[in-house]
């Protein structure tokens, strides 16, 4: 049984854990904003200075994670209530995945620095466009699920992850390696499989956040048996 609802009530009643919970939601919102901006810049092209400025937002995400860690550890050090230790561990699991979202978004921005032309996915490759849109939609919905503690939405996102995300990305990479996809130049041939893999990894960490909400603690990050 998921303990997420119980944890939210505890987080809201304890000063340090409440602050950590609030910061984790801010961290999630910042990560989503950074990702959506990265996609926008990939699609229309952007100046290198603007891309590098957006990359610096990842430092804020890292600071959020460090602050959440500190507050959780301090709470348990002071309270010495080991019975509620899973409460803090669940929150720490969540912010680890949010931090990874920032890392992979930064990878996309690094790629955009070296590929300053617009990468319009629907013109280049239909399946890449499907994957891109799916990840953007799931990112937004995952933020909504966390913010509203919507377990029904989180369960739906988790249930539909495998077919809509990993299969499409794996197909793109396979077609690139096998030569079934022809590109105009070597830059496109490099960017497409990388972009596809980054999107897949972002989708996987979004899935992990959903498991944090709906799965028993021992199944966080995995499909429930």
Q: Is the pLDDT of residue 161 over 70?
A: yes
Q: C-alpha 186: how far from its chain's center?
A: 29
Q: What is the pLDDT of residues 2-59, one digit of tens each?
A: 545 555 555 455 567 777 778 888 889 999 999 998 898 888 877 778 888 888 888 8
Q: In the chain, pLDDT over 90 holds for what percent of residues?
A: 33
pTM for this one? 0.85
Per-domain residue ranges of the chain: 4-219
Position 160 confidence tier, pLDDT thresholds 50, 70, 90: confident
Please answer whether residues 139 and 36 qualify as being in contact, where contact means their C-beta atoms are separated by less than 8 angstroms: yes
Query: CA-to-CA distance for 220 and 166, rounded, in angstroms?
Result: 19
According to DSSP, residue 179 is labeled T
Fold topology of 4-219? Methane Monooxygenase Hydroxylase; Chain G, domain 1 (1.20.58)
Q: What is the pLDDT of residues 178-217, one digit of tens each?
A: 989 888 888 888 999 999 999 999 999 999 999 888 877 6
Q: Is the pLDDT of residue 154 over 80?
A: yes
Q: What is the pLDDT of residues 74-118, one digit of tens each?
A: 777 776 666 656 667 788 888 899 999 999 999 999 888 888 788
Please answer whether residues 100 and 77 qualify as being in contact, where contact means their C-beta atoms are separated by less than 8 angstroms: no
The mean predicted confidence, pLDDT, of the chain is: 83
Query: CA-to-CA distance for 152 and 145, rounded, in angstroms?
Result: 8
Residue 156: exposure state from Cβ atoms within 10 A (0-12, 13-18, ≥19): middle
């Amino acid at each position: 049984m998921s303990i997420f609802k119980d944890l939210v009530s505890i987080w809201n009643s304890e000063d340090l854990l409440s602050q950590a919970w609030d910061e984790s939601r801010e961290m999630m919102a910042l990560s989503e904003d950074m990702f959506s901006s990265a996609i926008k810049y990939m699609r229309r092209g952007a100046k290198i200075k603007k891309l590098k400025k957006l990359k610096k937002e990842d430092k804020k995400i890292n600071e959020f994670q460090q602050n959440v860690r500190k507050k959780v550890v301090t709470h348990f050090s002071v309270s010495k209530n080991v019975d509620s230790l899973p409460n803090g561990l669940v929150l720490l699991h969540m912010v680890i995945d949010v931090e990874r979202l920032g890392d992979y978004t930064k990878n996309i921005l690094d790629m955009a620095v070296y590929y300053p032309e617009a990468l319009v996915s629907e013109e280049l490759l239909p399946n890449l466009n499907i994957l891109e849109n799916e990840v953007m939609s799931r990112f937004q919905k995952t933020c909504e699920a966390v913010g509203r503690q919507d377990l029904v939405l989180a369960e739906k996102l988790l249930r539909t992850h495998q077919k809509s995300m990993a299969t499409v990305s794996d197909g793109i990479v396979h077609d690139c390696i096998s030569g079934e996809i022809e590109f105009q130049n070597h830059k496109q041939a490099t960017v497409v499989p990388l972009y596809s893999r980054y999107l897949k990894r972002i989708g996987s960490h979004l899935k992990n956040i959903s498991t944090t909400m709906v799965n028993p603690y021992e199944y966080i990050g995995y499909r429930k048996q």
